[in-house]
C-alpha cells in the first residue's frame, strides 16, 4: 500500500516522541511504500537511516512551519502552538502529494493528542489515527502538592483540552477508519470509535542492559556525578548497613522531567512515612520543580536518603533501573510512560498512581492495587501513605515484560492497514 504518515517528530535513534515516530514509520516502510511528512529538522537523520537500511521503502517529505510559528519553549509550552500551525501546512503538503501519487492510507502518529487537529486526513482515503494520547483529569486533592499557581495552570489546561476534544477529537474519531488509544482513559472517552488500546512505545529489548537477579548496589555512578540533597547523602545505590547489622536499604528510582505534576514530591513525602523507612530514592532528571523537591527533602528529614542526579545519559539511567528495587513513578497525568515500559522490560516492578498510561502498563491488579508487575495506588485519600505502603509491599524482581518490543509493529501495522482499507 502507499501510505502517507504525518509525524511532526521522527528521529532515528531517539527516545519518546521522536523515537516513536521513527520506529512506527520504519515498521510501516518495511512492508509498504511510505511517505513520511515531518519537520525539516528530521529530514537528514531519516535519509541517513534509509541509506543504512536500503530495504526501507521510505521517502521523507519536508514540511516547514512559517517563522511566525517558531515560538520559544519545549513542547509543553510554545511548541504546541507551532505544532497546531504545522498541521495546516501538513494538510497542504499531503494533498499536493496525494494528487501526484494517490495514497491508499493516511496515518497520524506522533503528538496524536485527543484534543489536537490532524492535517494528514484526506477525503475518501482511509485514515488511521494514533496511538492517540490524552491526559486524565487531575484529582483536586493534588492542589496542595502543585500549589495554587500550578493548579490553576492545570485547571486551564483541562478547559482548553476539553474544548479541543469537542472541536478536534470527536471529529477525528468519527473520521478514523481505525483508532489506536494510548491508554484506557482515551479508549473510554472515544468508545464509540471502538479504539484498540496500543501505546506508541517501541523498545529494542536486545539493547537494554541485563537486569541482575539481585540488585547490585555497587554498580552505580561515582559520587562526583550525583548532586546529593545533603552533604552526607549517600552515593546512589551504595550498600549501607547499620551498626546493628540491619539489612541495606532498598532503592527506588524516579526518572523523568522534574515537573510538579510528575509527582516527585509525592514520592519524597512517601519516603518520610514509617512504612518506607528502609528505602532510598534516586532521582534522574531536571526541571523547574527541582528546588521545591530539595526543600521537601530537607523539611521532611529524608535528605540523606534522596539523591538528585540531574540529567544523565540514557545508558546510565537504564543501568540504574536494571539494578533498582522499584520504579517509583507517581505521575498525575502521563499518557504512556516510556520509562515505565523500560522498567518492566528490565524485570523491575513499578509503583504508580492508578491514572493514565502507567496504570495501563502495570496492568491488572487486585482490589488492593497489587499486581504481577507492580502496584497501582488510587489517586484519592491518603495517597502519600498508600505510596509508602506500596514500597513496603513491593514485590521483588519480575519476569522481563516483552509487550512493548519494537518487533511487534510490522505485523500490527499490516493488520491495521488491511482493516482500514476494507
* pLDDT tens-digit readout, 318-363: 999 999 999 999 999 888 788 999 999 999 999 999 988 899 899 8
- 125: three-class secondary structure by DSSP: coil
Residue 414 and residue 298 share a domain:
no
Inside any domain, residue 400: no
Inside any domain, residue 398: no
Residue 245 and residue 132 share a domain:
no
Determine whether 322 is exposed, middle or buried from the number of CB atoms within 10 Å of its CB (0-12, 13-18, 19+).
buried
Residue 344 and residue 330 share a domain:
yes
pLDDT band of residue 225 (cuts 50, 70, 90) is very low
pLDDT band of residue 77 (cuts 50, 70, 90) is low
The pLDDT value given to residue 226: 53
Inside any domain, residue 357: yes
Instruction: Please state the rounded mean pLDDT for residues 140-152.
Output: 79
| Lowest-pLDDT choice from 153-157, 235-239, 364-368 | 235-239
Inside any domain, residue 325: yes
Residue 55 and residue 88 share a domain:
yes
- 34: three-class secondary structure by DSSP: strand
Residue 213 and residue 189 share a domain:
no
Total number of domains in the chain: 2
The 10s digit of each residue's pLDDT in 280-317 is 999 999 999 999 999 999 999 999 999 999 999 989 99
- CA geometry: angle at 319 spanning 318 and 323, to 5°? 115
* 195, 337, 352, 238: CA torsion to nearest 10: 160
Residue 154 and residue 128 share a domain:
yes
Note the pTM of the prediction, 2 decimals.
0.84
pLDDT band of residue 229 (cuts 50, 70, 90) is low
* Distance in angstroms (rounded) separating the CA atoms of residues 134 and 301: 36
User: When comparing pLDDT for 165 and 245, which is higher?
Assistant: 165
Inside any domain, residue 51: yes
Instruction: List the domain range (segments joined by +) for residue 23.
Output: 2-202+405-421
Q: Which of 303, 293, 301, 269 is nearest to 377 (CA)?
A: 269
Residue 251 and residue 124 share a domain:
no
Q: Given the DSSP bridges, would you call strands 326-329 and 350-353 parallel, antiparallel or unpaired?
A: parallel
CATH number of the domain at 307, please.
3.40.50.2000
Q: Is the pLDDT of residue 266 over 70?
A: yes
Residue 285 and residue 190 share a domain:
no
- What sign results for the dihedral spanned by CA atoms 202, 206, 18, 137? positive
The 10s digit of each residue's pLDDT in 121-144 is 999 999 999 999 886 677 777 877
Residue 414 and residue 381 share a domain:
no
- What sign results for the dihedral spanned by CA atoms 213, 219, 220, 221? negative
Amino acid at each position: 500500500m502507499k501510505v502517507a504518515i504525518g509525524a511532526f517528530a521522527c528521529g532515528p535513534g531517539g527516545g519518546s516522541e521522536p523515537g516513536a515516530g521513527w520506529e512506527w514509520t520504519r515498521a510501516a516502510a518495511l512492508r509498504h511504500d511510505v511517505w513520511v511528512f515531518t519537520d525539516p529538522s528530521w529530514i537528514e537523520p531519516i535519509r541517513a537511516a534509509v541509506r543504512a537500511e536500503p530495504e526501507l521503502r521510505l521517502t521523507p517529505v519536508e514540511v516547514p512551519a512559517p517563522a511566525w510559528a517558531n515560538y520559544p519553549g519545549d513542547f509543553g509550552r510554545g511548541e504546541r502552538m507551532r505544532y497546531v500551525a504545522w498541521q495546516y501546512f501538513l494538510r497542504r503538503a499531503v494533498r499536493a502529494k496525494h494528487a501526484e501519487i494517490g495514497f491508499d492510507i493516511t496515518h497520524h502518529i506522533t503528538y496524536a493528542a485527543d484534543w489536537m487537529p490532524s492535517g494528514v486526513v484526506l477525503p475518501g482515503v482511509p485514515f488511521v489515527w494514533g496511538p492517540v494520547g490524552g491526559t486524565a483529569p487531575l484529582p483536586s486533592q493534588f492542589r496542595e502538592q502543585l500549589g495554587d499557581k500550578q493548579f490553576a495552570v492545570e485547571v486551564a489546561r483541562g478547559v482548553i483540552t476539553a474544548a479541543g476534544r469537542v472541536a478536534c477529537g470527536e471529529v477525528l474519531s468519527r473520521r478514523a477508519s481505525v483508532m489506536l488509544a494510548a491508554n484506557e482513559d482515551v479508549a473510554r472517552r472515544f468508545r464509540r470509535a471502538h479504539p484498540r488500546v496500543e501505546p506508541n512505545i517501541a523498545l529494542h529489548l536486545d539493547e537494554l542492559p541485563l537486569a541482575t537477579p539481585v540488585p547490585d548496589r555497587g554498580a552505580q555512578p561515582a559520587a562526583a556525578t550525583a548532586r546529593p540533597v545533603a552533604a552526607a547523602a549517600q552515593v546512589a545505590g551504595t550498600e549501607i548497613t547499620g551498626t546493628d547489622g540491619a539489612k541495606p536499604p532498598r532503592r527506588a528510582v524516579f526518572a523523568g522531567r522534574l515537573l510538579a505534576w510528575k509527582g516527585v514530591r509525592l514520592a519524597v513525602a512517601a519516603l518520610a512515612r514509617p512504612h518506607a523507612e528502609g528505602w532510598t530514592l534516586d532521582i534522574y532528571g531536571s526541571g523547574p520543580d527541582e528546588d521545591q523537591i530539595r526543600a521537601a527533602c530537607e523539611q521532611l528529614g529524608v535528605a540523606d536518603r534522596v539523591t538528585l542526579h540531574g540529567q544523565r545519559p540514557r545508558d546510565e539511567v537504564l543501568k540504574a533501573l536494571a539494578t533498582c528495587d522499584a520504579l517509583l513513578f507517581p505521575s498525575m497525568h502521563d499518557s504512556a510512560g516510556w520509562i515505565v515500559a523500560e522498567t518492566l522490560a528490565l524485570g523491575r516492578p513499578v509503583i504508580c498512581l492508578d491514572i493514565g498510561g502507567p496504570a495501563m502498563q502495570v496492568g491488572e491488579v487486585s482490589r488492593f492495587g497489587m499486581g504481577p508487575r507492580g502496584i497501582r495506588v488510587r489517586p484519592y485519600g491518603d495517597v502519600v501513605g498508600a505510596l509508602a505502603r506500596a514500597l513496603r509491599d513491593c514485590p521483588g524482581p519480575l519476569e522481563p515484560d516483552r509487550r512493548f518490543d519494537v518487533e511487534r509493529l510490522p505485523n500490527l501495522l499490516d493488520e491495521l492497514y488491511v482493516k482500514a482499507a476494507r
